[in-house]
């Protein structure tokens, strides 16, 4: 006996309608769960952040584009070209308090207690970089995990120990002639600008100068000379890819999405082939020559090659990725801090005059400009510290960690939650610093604790993060900044062209890095020092 089951004939329109209804039901279920039943649903934050990683970052991701439709397209365009991560996250903390939910599974903290809990106690690997935005972005850019992103605490400790050899005081002293050589080359170019009576973008000059320095320090010879335009093109690609990477980061937290994530990664790397672009910065043949050189230099690559002494076996991709990871991270953060230091001292004439007076009274000849001497100049170092307070380079997405089941600042956080401490907000908080949004380098001078700055909480100053994952190159970066600032201000006088034409907080973009900043100046030689 045969039983025939008659099914209704569905038209294409009805099938599409049913699929849309099912999709809407699933979406509604996810939204309701994220908004009301998720383990961090009780944490305050923007409504949109509860079910999408958009929040107020102005970085609309691909998934939400599909869900929300054409009405969001203008916002997407605006998001790509008007990045305000730091200032908007600060605004969220000012509105919601020291704990803010900024994504479905992401929490931002703005307190010293939380900062210490997240970053200072990592030796046991409790707070991991695994699954964070920076790790995902690094995977797209490089071919192997690096010291900056490697999640395993044991491997990180071993790799850190060998690479640290390139950043000891002895290594820094031996690196100083390399730094000064490239500074002298840049000064020759500035001299030509002075002769022509032209204006200049000081930020561009500083970035080009430090690009040559960091390339030489990384590989023991200037392998990346003249390649900065290639990097700048890559940086613009990276800026454009942030929303897609944000979408991938969002998908990582969803079960059963491994295949989708792999497809999305392939799509992004096909559109923006970062690894092949990175390889253009250092030709493979020259890289092999550096690896084979074994001349005892204390550059980044040579330090990484000592990994076998710690029981680590690294292949060629790992050598290259670690050297390039340190190089690009060190370049971007230091070059930005250099530009920001000059920006601030030129915007505040009293600070500029005081710094010039300190440098020119303590330095008689160019031979007096040494890292050791500059480290003892109080106002120079105060200006650099104050710049790092206002614009910490290791903020935002770069500071994310994946939390275990734990309590942070008295708040229970379930395992797998992405957490970070917002250094920008902490270091600009009136709870931690007097006149927090103003460039006041005198707060760092001896005796400041008996002035109006006695209420400053100096422990809130942590621009390089803390703990085992603190910036390994911070001393090299500060030495480079001191040398460059001193060399230029001893030889030249600078004048900002339009004090209000560019305002960093208003005009510079901020997401993973700072972008789109210029410092237009007039420059002239100081008599007798050309």
Q: Extract the annotated binding site for heme.
A: 471
Does the CA dihedral 111-115-118-120 come out positive or negative? negative
Number of H helices, E strands in the chain: 21, 11
Q: Which residue in 379, 498, 396, 326 sits closest to 59, CA to CA? A: 396
Gyration radius from the chain CA atoms: 25
Residue whose entry in the numeric block shows the structure tokens 């973009």: 509
Q: Which tokens is 156 given?
A: 């990180």
Binding site feature residues: 471
First to last CA, the chain: 106
* Beta carbons of 129 and 150 less than 8 angstroms apart: yes
Distance CA 100, CA 89 (A): 9
Q: Is 264 helix (H, G, I), strand (E, B) or coil?
A: helix
- Kindly report the number of other CB atoms within 10 A of residue 446's CB atom: 8
Q: Is 487 helix (H, G, I), strand (E, B) or coil?
A: helix
* Beta carbons of 244 and 79 less than 8 angstroms apart: no
Which residues lie closer than 8 Å to 491 by C-beta, 6 or more apart? 187, 366, 525, 526, 529, 530
Q: Which residue in 51, 35, 33, 49 sits closest to 96, CA to CA? A: 49
- Kindly report the number of other CB atoms within 10 A of residue 109's CB atom: 24
Residue whose entry in the numeric block shows the structure tokens 């062209």: 497
Distance CA 521, CA 494 (A): 6
């Amino acid at each position: 006996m045969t039983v025939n089951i008659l099914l209704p004939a569905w038209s294409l329109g009805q099938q599409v309608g049913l699929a849309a209804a099912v999709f809407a039901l699933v979406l509604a279920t996810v939204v309701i769960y994220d908004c009301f039943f998720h383990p961090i649903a009780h944490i305050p934050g923007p409504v949109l952040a509860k079910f999408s990683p958009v929040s107020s970052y102005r970085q609309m991701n691909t998934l939400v584009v599909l869900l929300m439709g054409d009405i969001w397209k203008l916002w997407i365009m605006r998001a790509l070209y008007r990045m305000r991560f730091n200032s908007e996250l600060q605004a969220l903390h000012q509105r919601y308090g020291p704990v803010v939910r900024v994504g479905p599974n992401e929490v931002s903290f703005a307190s010293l207690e939380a900062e210490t809990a997240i970053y200072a106690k990592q030796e046991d690997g409790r707070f991991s970089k695994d699954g964070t935005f920076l790790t995902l972005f690094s995977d797209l850019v490089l071919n192997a995990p690096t010291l900056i992103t490697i999640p395993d605490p044991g491997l990180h400790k071993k790799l850190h120990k060998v690479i640290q050899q390139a950043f000891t005081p002895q290594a820094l002293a031996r690196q100083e002639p390399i730094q000064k050589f490239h500074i002298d080359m840049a000064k020759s170019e500035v001299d030509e600008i002075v002769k022509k009576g032209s204006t200049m973008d000081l930020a561009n000059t500083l970035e080009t100068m430090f690009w040559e320095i960091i390339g030489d320090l990384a590989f023991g010879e200037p392998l990346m000379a003249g390649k900065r335009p290639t990097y700048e093109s890559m940086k613009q690609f990276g800026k454009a890819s942030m929303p897609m990477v944000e979408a991938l980061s969002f998908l990582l937290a969803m079960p059963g999405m491994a295949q989708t994530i792999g497809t999305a990664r392939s799509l992004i790397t096909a559109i923006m082939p970062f690894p092949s672009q990175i390889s253009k910065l250092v030709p493979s043949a020259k890289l092999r020559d550096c690896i084979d050189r074994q001349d005892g230099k204390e550059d980044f690559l040579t330090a990484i090659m000592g990994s076998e002494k710690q029981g680590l076996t690294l292949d060629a991709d790992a050598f290259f990725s670690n050297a390039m990871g340190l190089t690009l991270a060190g370049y971007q953060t230091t070059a930005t801090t250099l530009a920001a230091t000059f920006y601030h001292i030129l915007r505040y004439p009293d600070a500029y005059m005081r710094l010039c007076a300190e440098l020119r009274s303590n330095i008689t000849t160019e031979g007096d400009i040494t890292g050791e001497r500059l480290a003892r100049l109080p106002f120079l170092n105060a200006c650099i510290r104050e710049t790092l307070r206002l614009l910490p380079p290791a903020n935002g997405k770069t500071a994310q960690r994946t939390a275990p089941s734990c309590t942070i600042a008295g708040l229970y956080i379930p395992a797998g939650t992405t957490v970070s401490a917002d250094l920008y907000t902490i270091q600009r908080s009136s709870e931690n610093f007097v006149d927090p949004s103003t460039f006041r380098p005198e707060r760092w001078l001896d005796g400041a604790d008996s002035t109006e700055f006695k209420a400053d909480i100096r422990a809130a100053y942590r621009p390089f993060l803390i703990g085992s994952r603190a910036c390994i190159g911070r001393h090299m970066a500060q030495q480079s900044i001191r040398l460059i600032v001193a060399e230029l201000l001893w030889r030249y006088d600078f004048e900002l062209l339009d004090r209000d034409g560019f305002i960093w907080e208003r005009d510079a973009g901020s997401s993973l890095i700072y972008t789109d900043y210029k410092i237009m100046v007039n420059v002239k030689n100081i008599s007798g020092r050309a």
